[in-house]
Structure 1
Amino acid sequence: MSIEGRGRRKTDRDGPELGVDEAIRALLLLMPRMVGRAKRIRVPDELQSLALAPRHLSLLSYLLFDGPMTVNDLAARLEVAPTTVSLMVGELSRKGILERREDASDRRRRIVSITDSKRPSVDNWLARGAHAWRQALNPLAPEQRQMFVQTLQAYEAAMADDEGD
């Protein structure tokens, strides 16, 4: 596939509209900058020594935004096996970031949450990205936001397919 731009198509209402090739070119130039900025988000001092990986960031994001939940709920949201989440929860529990407690309604289940002592650091770490996404997504209509998220999900899935994942 060619990555050369094909110019812009005109529309009557919104001015210039990106053609597919021009949009691809723009995104190929934009994505490395976005990834670079995300990598430069400073991990709070309190969390730096804990060797957190991107997989931890996703798990912590769910717990921060959606509150405590079970390992199975986390696994479903992260789209990984419960054993994978259980291993991550065990690792983060040993590091003092997460805690597991009995579910009052079903003593066999464990509820996972961020510890009170680490919550402010995790919140500060994720706040900059959340603020930037809020600024970018607020002007969009709900269906536009949905399309944007679905487009990013389709891109990620296509990249995984190309890798043989």
Structure 2
Amino acid sequence: MASKREPQAGLHTDEATRAMLLLMPRVIGRLKRTPLPEQLQSMNLAPRHLSLLAYLLFDGPMLVNQLAARLEVTPSTVSLMVSDLSRQGVVERQADPDDGRRTIVAITQEPSTRTAIERWLANGANSWRKVFEPLTPEQRAMFVETIEAYEQEASKASPAETAD
């Protein structure tokens, strides 16, 4: 579905802020309504699992410390997530052949589980590809950087939250 607004040369800061405040709840609502494939429904997967699985699917097997750095969480948090997903047969762990103290994590090679994960991620990936395709590499980078900056700014505690 195309945007309901006519393309504009630009927006003032307040116009862009208003547009995003109205748009983001719809986007989040749509993401929350994205159904898990039937095979994954009993697994209690959360958004944090989506990010971890996306990294493994797109970038291949990784060390726990690499996943922690990319997810911006502690290695112990990743280890807990990996343990949970491993018990459910979603990921596999193996010792790093170069250093047995390190653990490499990969999406399971079990075909039906792997396919279910790919299907879960496919809608979002296909949507992003479609909207990014007409943009220049610079425009794509600006969009990603803007969303990252928003997430960082929004994660800061507001003065009301820090007041005693």
Same fold (TM over 0.5): yes
- Alignment partner, residue 57 of structure 2: 64
Shift, 1:15, TM fit: 5.4
**1:119 alignment partner AA:** R
- Alignment partner, residue 18 of structure 1: 11
- Alignment partner, residue 149 of structure 1: 144
How many Å separate the matches in 2 of 1:140 and 1:72?
33
1:47 to 1:84, Cα distance in 2 relative to 1, 3 A? same
1:69 to 1:15, Cα distance in 2 relative to 1, 3 A? closer
Aligned pair count reads 152
- Alignment partner, residue 158 of structure 1: 153
How many Å separate the matches in 1 of 2:106 and 2:9?
47
| Larger relative contact order (CA 8 Å, sep ≥ 6) | 2
Q: Which runs of 5+ in 1 are unaligned?
A: 1-13
- Partner SS for 2:57: helix
Q: TM-score, normalised by structure 2?
A: 0.87
Q: TM-score, normalised by structure 1?
A: 0.87
- Alignment partner, residue 115 of structure 2: 120
Q: Which runs of 5+ in 2 are unaligned?
A: 1-6
- Alignment partner, residue 4 of structure 2: none
How many Å separate the matches in 2 of 1:80 and 1:15?
39
Shift, 1:149, TM fit: 0.6
Identify, as 1 or 2, the structure richer in helix: 2
1:103-154 Cα deviation digits (max 9, x unpaired): 2222222210011222110000000000000111111111111111110011
- Partner SS for 2:67: helix
Q: 1:136 aligns with which of 128, 131, 138?
A: 131
Which moves more between the two structures, 108-117 or 65-74? 108-117
1:31-85 Cα deviation digits (max 9, x unpaired): 1111111111110000000000111111011001000011001001111111110
What fraction of aligned residue pairs are identical, expressed as a percent?
A: 58
- Alignment partner, residue 46 of structure 1: 39
- Alignment partner, residue 104 of structure 1: 97
1:28 aligns with 2:28: no
How many Å separate the matches in 1 of 2:68 and 2:32?
25
Over the aligned positions, Cα root-mean-square deviation in angstroms equals: 1.6
- Alignment partner, residue 84 of structure 1: 77
